[in-house]
């Protein structure tokens, strides 16, 4: 096994993958004691000069973009002839998630697409087009947040810098827009087309256009109509049609247009209203059950009405009783106040009478 390259300040632990011009490693940031992904430029299918410029441009591009759904770069530098970039490490990619689940829950797929779209529209406002939106380049933080990365072939809008040859298309054919495949001018709408392909794959489990050869896939993107989603996902078809329109002018070009298309789609996948009665009107069900259990002995409507009438009459009499009781207490209190001196003598007389009565009863026995 070949030794890993040495990057100052980082201990490379594991090879994660490679791209057109760089290898990616899992590494430990020795200064901050954290896991990071280190991208090391080792080779290129282009000239070394072009590869170096593209690598530096990617680091500059990502460093200038500050968005919660765009990868964070911690450091970019050079050590001798080695160029490297240290960035966030992600435990899972969208490609892995689709592969493990076959297809994603509609709400989850739409949420991922919505957050990635927000990152792309932000990048477009800053003047950058990604040009390689695909499941491999969408990763997840540990809290589930989707993040887009790999701006290696990102293009600066209106830039005159030539890092690609004239008439040369850049990207991954399975996810590229018709204008990219035809090597025509691209703009932010090209990224939206690619995101539409990704959304179709998240929902259905497979890309919209497949083929054993790259050219066959290219021709389908350019000429064939967009396939239909399964019937249960038909609500998403208009969004897919807009995102993957052959004419870029028909695609959502602003975040406002995007939100107008997406917001209504989150609602249909909530709990259907038909199931709500199962949890509702408990009191009515309880009353029915009480009536069933009471059987023949159940109280008739007339009896219930009579009972309620009696209760109301008692309630009306209660205030009068209260007044009478108050008058009685008041009278007794007044009498005691004026006769308190005679009370002991009266009690003594009562006690003597009771004593004589008891004694006579005992004598008779």
Q: Which residues are catalytic?
A: 132
Whole-Å CA distances, 165 to 20, 78, 184: 16, 26, 12
In 3D, which of 64, 69, 103 has the Cα closest to residue 255? 69
User: Per the structure block, which two tokens stand in for 266?
Assistant: 């989150």
Q: Which segments of the chain does DSSP mark as H helices, in order?
A: 48-63, 94-101, 106-125, 178-181, 188-204, 214-223, 237-243, 255-262, 282-294, 301-339, 343-364
Q: Which of 178, 136, 170 is nearest to 153 (CA)?
A: 170
Q: How far, in Å, CA of 115 to CA of 141, rounded?
A: 13
Looking up tokens 């959502």, which residue turns up? 252
The answer to whether 155 and 186 have CB atoms below 8 angstroms apart is yes
SS3 readout for 66-83? CCCCECCEEEEEEECCEE
Residue 59 has a CB neighbour count (10 Å cut-off) of 21
């Amino acid at each position: 096994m070949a030794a890993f390259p040495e990057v100052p300040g980082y201990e490379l632990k594991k090879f994660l993958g490679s791209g057109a011009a760089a290898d990616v490693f899992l590494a430990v940031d020795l200064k901050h004691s954290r896991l990071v992904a280190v991208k090391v430029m080792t080779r290129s299918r282009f000239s070394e000069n072009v590869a170096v410029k593209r690598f530096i441009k990617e680091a500059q591009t990502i460093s200038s973009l500050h968005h919660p759904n765009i990868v964070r770069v911690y450091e970019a530098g050079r050590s001798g002839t080695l160029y490297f970039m240290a960035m966030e490490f992600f435990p899972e990619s969208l490609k892995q998630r689709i592969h493990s689940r076959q297809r994603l829950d509609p709400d989850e797929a739409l949420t991922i697409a919505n957050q990635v779209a927000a990152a792309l529209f932000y990048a477009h406002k800053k003047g950058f087009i990604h040009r390689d939106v695909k499941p491999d380049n969408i990763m997840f933080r540990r809290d589930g947040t989707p993040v887009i990365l790999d701006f290696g072939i990102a293009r600066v809008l209106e830039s005159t810098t030539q890092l690609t040859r004239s008439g040369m298309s850049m990207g991954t054919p399975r996810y590229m827009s018709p204008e990219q495949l035809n090597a025509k001018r691209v703009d932010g709408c090209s990224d939206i087309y690619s995101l539409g392909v990704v959304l179709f794959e998240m929902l259905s489990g497979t890309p919209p256009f497949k083929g054993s050869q790259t050219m066959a896939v290219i021709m389908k993107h350019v000429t064939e109509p967009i396939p239909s989603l399964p019937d249960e996902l038909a609500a998403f078809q208009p969004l897919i049609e807009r995102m993957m329109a052959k004419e870029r002018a028909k695609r959502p070009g602003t975040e406002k247009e995007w939100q107008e298309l997406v917001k209504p789609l989150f609602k249909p996948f909530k709990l259907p209203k038909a199931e709500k009665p199962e949890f509702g009107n408990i009191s009515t069900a309880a009353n029915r059950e009480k009536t069933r259990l009471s059987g023949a002995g159940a109280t008739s409507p007339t009896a219930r009405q009579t009972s309620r009438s009696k209760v109301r009459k008692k309630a009306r009499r209660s205030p009068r009783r209260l007044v009478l009781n108050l008058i009685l207490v008041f009278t007794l209190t007044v009498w005691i106040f004026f006769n308190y001196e005679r009370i002991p003598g009266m009690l003594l007389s009562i006690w003597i009478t009771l004593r004589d009565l008891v004694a006579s009863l005992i004598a008779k026995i």
